[in-house]
Structure 1
Amino acid sequence: MSLTTTDRAMAIAADVEAFVRGVVVPYERDDRLGGHGPSDDLVTELRDKARSAGVLTPHILPDGSHLTQRETAAVLRRSGLSPLGPLACNTAAPDEGNMYLLGKVATAEQKARFLAPLVTGGARSAFFMTEPAEEGGAGSDPSMMRTTCRRDGEEWIISGRKRFITGAEGAKVGIVMAKSDDGACMFLVDLPDPAIRTTRVLDTIDSSMPGGHAEIDIVDLRVPTSQMLGASGEGFKYAQIRLSPARLSHCMRWLGLATRANEIAADYACRRTAFGKPLVDHEGVGFMLADNLIDLKQCELTIDWCAGVLDSGSLGTSESSMAKVAVSDALFRVADRCVQIMGGTGVSGDTIVEQAFREIRAFRIYDGPTEVHKWSLAKKIKRDWKAANA
């Protein structure tokens, strides 16, 4: 239970939890699940059920306003109780972060054309930022961006290569980052587009995202000036608006999945006997479950603290880095212990514990590796020291 959320958020969260546990969980063995994520027809079916249950895009209210970050934490955690829950409820990455960004930056016309289909669950989106490392492209350091854009009359022409673009296959809305003479820019595009070509979909450790993670060639993509998001050269500023809440949203969703994995492991340990007693009565197992409770609670408190910072109006750059490091590392410990407790069953596909382990392991890299966030925090320590000793 979130410590500081509201009654309306807890009511929404209760409805989401009931839906995920009762409706979504049985789909975890559906044959439309593959190595590159669930099929689009499965996503559509789940979203139709969420719409009927009144839990589609639950973090955005009917008047278009957004729950606070602390309220969102209560809701997204419940949606994350199944790997399919965020997809069903339309709280998944990258759509959730893209909706947040468009809500903050897009014009009224852009919102009607690009945001509305995302909010209603009728479209998926992709965020085209990361580039191939071997070509010196942008990754954890977005300033290395090599994709270019140049103005040609009332259009912009964009060319470059992108990699690890989540959900590009099947997406209908794209946000493309490129570099002009002014600096970084963002563009809204309709998908598919013949100038945006998937060269391959990578095989990755995780498998929860529809469309997987694609490598993309962008060849002379023409975009009307009206589809630039904000102003030329302001792209990195807009990225910061998106990235801190998106990092925290990842923490919220994966906390839900780790919570479910721990429930399964605890049930296994209480039912399974070895050497004359239940596994939970062996300290080696019981203590792992105790450590899980401690880590899960610390993650909840960290998320609540960072959400409060964002709700105050701060960008929360350092705070979200701290939260992302602490939560991703702690949840990986939880998932790893769950696999260990369950032994052979833990590494099989008989439960979602094995998938939770894979998904949460990837989380330690996605939205910035642990080491990059620590490096950023170390730079802040140095800046603060210099300021205090000037």
Structure 2
Amino acid sequence: MDFDDSDKVARLRAQLSDFMRFHVEPANVAWHRDVAAGRYPSALIERLKSRAFSEDLWNLFLPSLGDDDPGQRLSNLEYAPLAEIMGRIHWASEVFNCSAPDTGNMELLQLAATPEQRRQWLEPLLIGEIRSCFAMSEPDAASSDARNIRTTIARDGDDYVVNGRKWFITGAAHPNCKLAIVMGVTGDHLDPNSTERHSMLLVPMDTPGLSIVRNIPVMHYHSPEGHCELLFRDVRVPVTALLGEQGKGFRLAQDRLGPGRVHHCMRTIGQCEVALELMCERALERKAFGRHLADYANIQDWIAESRLEIDQARLLVMKAAHRMDREGNAAARVDVSAIKLVAARLQTRIVDRAMQVFGAMGLTPDTPLSYLWTWGRAMRFLDGPDEVHLRVVARAELASAKAQAGRNAHHFVPPDALLGG
């Protein structure tokens, strides 16, 4: 595996870093002021989007585009370091039309949309004209196993009728969110353990019967774009709103997750880099008991451990992206579970150290640390809880061991050999 940047990626990294330094980072305070004042989406986002589009820093996450679609057509491995750079400011991805859940939704539409669905939904998403959300998880089901989903999608003549409740639906409160991709049960007569029971529908957000119940705070933090609870009460859409084939929604959901987890993990690594930089700066300037914090061995250990852990996580994510590009998303399933585990745990661990070095300030909005810790903790649920991914990795190890049963017998020494017999 060669993780050295190509000339194209090196150029894009430099260009994106400059854009972040000269345009996004100076706007960070204004963005927070606008959000606090209820001015969301902030006008500065649209100005920055226009500039990013004109500089061709757009749709960087999509490896495959139409001839006339804007973007760089990067592989997962090529995009990974760019996602890390964007992740340093948590709202920056929207500037480059690279924010979740739109990224995964665009990939889904590329994969399964009809020509008419592409015209109506994919094309506006590709140019950043609209936003979207992905409605899968539910309050009354253990949604880490998508087979538990209870929202019903019933055929009624030339329509589908949706009934159910979804929650923690990212992006649903964004004023530009015009589309919900909804996953529900169409084959309720099948075995409950079947993966052929679910389908996806393209539901406009202004469809009668669809309502936003609330924007759910995550550990008391309200995201302006929303992590919302949605109610679907006799929501009726034409059968042409079906995405892909009926009964293939579970498979589509699995296809959607792989690249998105690489994006999440690399943004997390960017945020961990910010936390480490802040920790080092604080340790060099703050004194306790007559010495700078940086002079204490335990603080030096935290800094060193953080550097090693970030670099290890980055290599693991790059490996997963490399496998995805070479062998496909399915072949990288275990690698993707591994990076999801490692990145979420990494973020809370490193940010926690930085907060400890900052003292009480680390708990306040004066630094980004408290928000970054909250987001890292949430990531241990997003795209599947830790336990699900541990199970995936463990099963792969056990399957490998089963396939090689007895191979390690030569490592065991008979007791009589130890006794000289």
Per-residue deviation, 1:38: 7.9
Contact 2:61 2:76 in 1 (8 A): no
SS of corresponding position for 1:197: strand
Aligned to 1:260: 274
CA pair 210-8 structure 1, distance change in 2 beyond 3 A? farther
Aligned to 1:25: 25
Per-residue deviation, 1:53: 4.4
Contact 2:35 2:224 in 1 (8 A): no
Aligned to 1:237: 251
Aligned to 2:373: 357
Matched, 1:219 2:233: yes
Aligned to 1:313: 327
Contact 1:4 1:70 in 2 (8 A): no
Count of matched residue pairs: 385
TM-score relative to the length of structure 2:
0.85
Contact 1:206 1:355 in 2 (8 A): no
Per-residue deviation, 1:334: 1.2
CA shift digits 1:347-367 (9 cap, x unpaired) = 222222222222222112211
Instruction: Give the letter aligned to residue 26 of structure 2.
Output: P
Aligned to 2:7: 7
Matched, 1:323 2:334: no
Of residues 108, 122, 130, the one that matches 1:123 is 130
Supply the distance in 1 between the matched residues of 2:400 and 2:286 (Cα, whole angstroms): 53
Instruction: Give the letter aligned to residue 343 of structure 1.
Output: G
CA pair 53-206 structure 1, distance change in 2 beyond 3 A? farther
Aligned to 1:204: 218
Counting only pairs closer than 5 Å after superposition, residues 1-390 of structure 1 correspond to structure 2 as: 3-29=3-29, 30-34=32-36, 39-42=40-43, 43-60=45-62, 63=67, 64=69, 66-132=73-139, 135=140, 137-169=141-173, 170=175, 171-181=177-187, 183-205=197-219, 207=221, 209-314=223-328, 315=330, 316-385=332-401
CA pair 208-94 structure 1, distance change in 2 beyond 3 A? farther
Contact 1:187 1:227 in 2 (8 A): yes
Supply the distance in 2 between the matched residues of 1:385 and 1:234 (Cα, whole angstroms): 32
SS of corresponding position for 1:139: coil
Per-residue deviation, 1:168: 0.9
CA pair 235-4 structure 1, distance change in 2 beyond 3 A? farther
SS of corresponding position for 1:76: helix
Supply the distance in 1 between the matched residues of 2:50 and 2:11 (Cα, whole angstroms): 21
Q: CA RMSD in A?
A: 2.4
CA shift digits 1:218-271 (9 cap, x unpaired) = 012222222211100000111111112111211011111111121122122222
Supply the distance in 1 between the matched residues of 2:39 and 2:217 (Cα, whole angstroms): 14
Instruction: Give the letter aligned to residue 392 of structure 2.
Output: S
Farther off after superposition, 184-193 or 71-80: 184-193
Contact 2:60 2:73 in 1 (8 A): no
Aligned to 2:414: none
Farther off after superposition, 68-77 or 189-198: 189-198
Contact 1:76 1:249 in 2 (8 A): yes
Supply the distance in 1 between the matched residues of 2:404 and 2:160 (Cα, whole angstroms): 45
CA shift digits 1:140-175 (9 cap, x unpaired) = 111001011122222211111111111112311211
Per-residue deviation, 1:128: 0.5
CA shift digits 1:323-369 (9 cap, x unpaired) = 11112112221111111121122222222222222222211221111
Supply the distance in 2 between the matched residues of 1:255 and 1:208 (Cα, whole angstroms): 23
Per-residue deviation, 1:321: 0.4
SS of corresponding position for 2:144: coil
5+ long unaligned stretches in structure 2:
188-195, 406-421
